[in-house]
């Protein structure tokens, strides 16, 4: 009876763990493809991604020596590719567009859009927005707010170093 219980327990454990193993492998594969896509984009500008971060179907990266930011995102099967030359940028700001829903007992903040906005030194050039989250394309947030705040700080520190 003890041997049977052990075998059944082992089989149940394997059946329980198999989906997690496949999910982990799938996630790693997705991340690898995103990094390869971003590295390919950087290569077109003779750059190399030295720092990057992945969230969902998007990746942001930085070439620290060439001062370029690269962004790659897949939305509804479409690829969005953007690059920013930081030598042309004055400041990077966080875009957090939200609205408040009120009911009788409380109110709740709903985030509609999150992104990084790059303000150029030359005022005649348009600002560049890297859009990380929209309520239209995503059901819920997945760490995007922390990600954009972190990257705004990284970029602005890079810009400060350039000025000094």
Q: Tens digit of pLDDT for each residue in 34-46?
A: 888 888 889 999 9
What are the boundaries of each domain within the chain?
A: 2-163
As a whole number, the mean pLDDT across the chain is 85
pLDDT at 109: 82
Indicate whether 162 pLDDT > 80.
no
Question: Alpha helix (H) ranges present in the chain?
Answer: 2-44, 144-163
Give pTM, 2 decimals: 0.78
CA distances from 26 to 31, 32, 34 (A): 9, 10, 12
**Computed from CA positions of residues 150, 122, 62, 82, in that sequence, does the dihedral angle turn out positive or negative?**
positive
Residue, of 109 and 92, whose pLDDT is higher: 92
Please give the average per-residue pLDDT across 62-88, as a whole number.
92
Nearest to 30 by CA among 72, 62, 80, 83: 72
């Amino acid at each position: 009876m003890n041997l049977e219980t052990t075998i059944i327990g082992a089989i149940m454990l394997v059946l329980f763990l198999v989906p997690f193993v496949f999910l982990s492998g799938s996630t790693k594969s997705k991340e690898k493809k995103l990094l390869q896509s971003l590295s390919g984009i950087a290569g077109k500008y003779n750059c190399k991604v030295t720092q990057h971060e992945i969230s969902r179907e998007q990746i942001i990266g930085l070439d620290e020596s060439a001062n370029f930011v690269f962004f790659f995102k897949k939305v509804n099967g479409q690829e969005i590719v953007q690059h920013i030359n930081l030598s042309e940028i004055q400041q990077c700001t966080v875009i957090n567009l939200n609205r408040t829903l009120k009911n009788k007992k409380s109110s709740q903040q709903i985030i509609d859009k999150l992104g990084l906005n790059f303000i150029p030194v030359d005022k005649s050039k348009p600002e560049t927005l890297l859009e990380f989250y929209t309520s239209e394309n995503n059901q819920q947030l997945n760490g995007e707010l922390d990600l954009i705040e972190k990257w705004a700080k990284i970029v602005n520190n890079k810009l400060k170093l350039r000025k000094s």
